[in-house]
Amino acid sequence: MCGIVGYIGAREAQSVLLQGLEKLEYRGYDSAGIAVYDGSVIRVKKRLGRLSNLEEQLNGHGLPGSVGIGHTRWATHGRPSDENAHPHEDCSGHFVVVHNGIIENYRMLREQLRREGHRFRSETDSEVVAHLIESLYDGDLLGTVLKAANRLRGAYALVVMSVREPDRLVAVRKHSPLVVGLGEGENFIASDIPALLSYTRRVYVLDEGEVADVTASRVACYRLDGTGVDKQVLEVTWDMAAAEKAGYEHFMLKEIYEQPKAIADTLTGRLAEDNRAVLPELGWDEDTARQIDRIHIIACGTAYHAGMVGRQILERLTRIPVEVEVASEYRYREPVYTENTLVIAVSQSGETADTLAALREAKSRGRRVLAITNVVGSSVAREADDVVITQAGPEIAVASTKAYTTQLVAFYLFACYLARLRGSADPEAIRGILEAVRGLPEAVSKVLDTAPAMKQFARRFAWKESAFFIGRGLDYVAALEGALKLKEISYIHAEAYAAGELKHGTLALIAEGVPVIALATQDHLYEKTVSNIKEVKARDAYVLALTWAGDGEMATVADEVLYLPRTNPWVAPVVVAVPLQLLAYYAAVERGNDVDKPRNLAKSVTVE
């Protein structure tokens, strides 16, 4: 996730900007840059890679001046590179911007501006903002930024500086956070409070659709329609570590709670108002879609579970046979391809060695590869033919949460997109699924309310030796992911079973008090699952069942029931994932484990 810092005052802006950006490094980024006004022009330096690369470049060639803006970029549009790094300039170098978020209508604006003669230097959506301001500028920077902001669609935070009015910075918040730090004869801007804490604890938190006009001696705030706003000063009392985690005890918990936003961001620009999945990054035609006669999905760990959900939805909607395999097996198996097999590689980091090797195997055999990844410019993204980027933002905890649920969203979108192009499913069925997908940010927000119940259950359950997760159909996949999460961070032995398979062996392990987490969200399999719950209850297991709110039967069968806000069963794996993540989290906390960095595991597995 990108970071923004701005400074105006009497200090050397460069060091304030670099220090501020350092405090935002924990959010993850792939490039960094700063712009400083030196009394006559704005000088910009930006570099691919760590902040230290930029610092090296500035060593001995620093940017003097006391007004500036800085940025750390997490690529969304355009690969990570020096050119795509922020700040971005207009043609004249008079207007310089940093931007977080996504400008949805940038293609249209870019085309218009190009026709007017503007020359673009990067592949980003952000650069259009600098050119748009250049084209609209009428001697009033604040008014021009307001006009420009009203022409931008999407979720973004912006800070603009200009040689024409070098004594001010103008900042805009639209669905992407920004705060203004208040000093004496100096002021600060940042996308997150940690960047300001070394200088001030007095801040204005900009609300949705607010604009700040910031000079060294005053800060004035407005709404996007230009009317003034009176802001209350917030006194920050947290320390640095808490601020980085936004008040959450662990990154994992923060990331669990970020899921409604991560899902909404992944849907941005990909779901038309009439509930059609549009994936502009693919731009496939009907022939391309119709040619595909087989799909192989390759991934590891949690991403493999996303692929298992993907298989069910793809087969249902496209009728194409789909195989899913863990990449470490696939790469050595000499898989059999048809002429038009599409290979889908799923990887949060885009750097997992086994997934990359499996992708290369498919490429070397001439297959088309589509990547679903969270990291623009990662190896998987670069080597694939087509890429669908999930917009989860950086995931810091080793246990994957928001990356997983956004991978599921990417699969729903892709399956509906492919089915529409192939004409392989009833348009009403597709619309129904996409309507539920559109409702996921809200459904996930509601299901987060199960946290106290999961915490309580986890306290009682945390010292059990083992646990079983059961379900049928999509619930079986959700069970696999629930068990993996629990093992990974709580170190409790956990197994997931297709509920119908229990009696073929595993039932022997069920004894008095053994915890069984039973998932029952698939309406057409509900009665079968209830029978399987009865099987384990007959062996005195302790059953926590997860099913839809409104159910009347489960409470008579299971020991405890957690009710979920009802939605279309096809999207249940997203909804169910949340309480299972919370269960694993609270069990790990209860056991005193290092939740964000579990033993023996790494975030990105770049070795075989």
Residues engaged in binding ligand AGP (CB under 6 A): 300-303, 347-349, 352, 355, 398-400, 488, 604-605
For residue 2, indicate whether it is catalytic.
yes
Helix (H, G, I), strand (E, B) or coil at 305: helix
Complex with ligand AGP: residue 125 or 354, whichever CB lies closer: 354
Least distance between ligand AGP and beta carbon 404 (Å): 7
Q: In 169-206, which positions are buried (b, 16+ CB within 10 angstroms) versus exposed (e)?
A: bbbbbbbbbbbbbbbeebbbbbbbbbbbbebbeebbbb
**446 burial type by CB count under 10 A (0-12 exposed, 13-18 middle, 19+ buried):** middle
Q: Assess contact for 297 and 323: CB atoms under 8 A.
A: yes
Tokens 């002021």 label which residue? Answer: 187
Q: Provide the CA 556 distance to its chain's centre, in angstroms.
A: 39
Side-chain-side CA neighbours of 327 within 13 Å: the count stands at 32
CA angle 88-93-96, nearest 5°? Answer: 40
DSSP 453-487: HHHHHHHHHTT-SEEEEEESTHHHHHHHHHHHHHH
Least distance between ligand AGP and beta carbon 297 (Å): 13
Least distance between ligand AGP and beta carbon 271 (Å): 24
Handedness of CA 256, 258, 260, 266 (dihedral sign): negative
Residues 6+ apart with CB under 8 A from 268: 102, 104, 154, 155, 391
Least distance between ligand AGP and beta carbon 352 (Å): 3
Least distance between ligand AGP and beta carbon 348 (Å): 3
Complex with ligand AGP: residue 300 or 580, whichever CB lies closer: 300
Q: How far apart are the first and last CA of the chain?
A: 28
Complex with ligand AGP: residue 186 or 354, whichever CB lies closer: 354
Complex with ligand AGP: residue 263 or 320, whichever CB lies closer: 263
Helix (H, G, I), strand (E, B) or coil at 403: helix
Complex with ligand AGP: residue 14 or 355, whichever CB lies closer: 355
Complex with ligand AGP: residue 89 or 395, whichever CB lies closer: 395
Q: Of 2, 221, 300, 416, which one is the catalytic site residue? A: 2
Q: Assess contact for 82 and 31: CB atoms under 8 A.
A: yes
Q: Of 455, 528, 537, 603, which one is the catalytic site residue? A: 603
Q: How far is CA 521 from CA 409, 468, 475, 479, in A?
A: 18, 17, 7, 12
Least distance between ligand AGP and beta carbon 81 (Å): 22
Least distance between ligand AGP and beta carbon 400 (Å): 4
The span from the CA of 196 to the CA of 190, in Å, is 7
Q: Assess contact for 455 and 482: CB atoms under 8 A.
A: no
CA angle 344-349-355, nearest 5°? Answer: 45
**227 burial type by CB count under 10 A (0-12 exposed, 13-18 middle, 19+ buried):** exposed
Among candidate residues 27, 140, 33, 17, the one with its CA nearest the CA of residue 96? 33
Complex with ligand AGP: residue 195 or 300, whichever CB lies closer: 300
Complex with ligand AGP: residue 242 or 326, whichever CB lies closer: 326
Least distance between ligand AGP and beta carbon 375 (Å): 8
**Closest chain position to ligand AGP (CB):** 301
State the catalytic residues: 2, 603
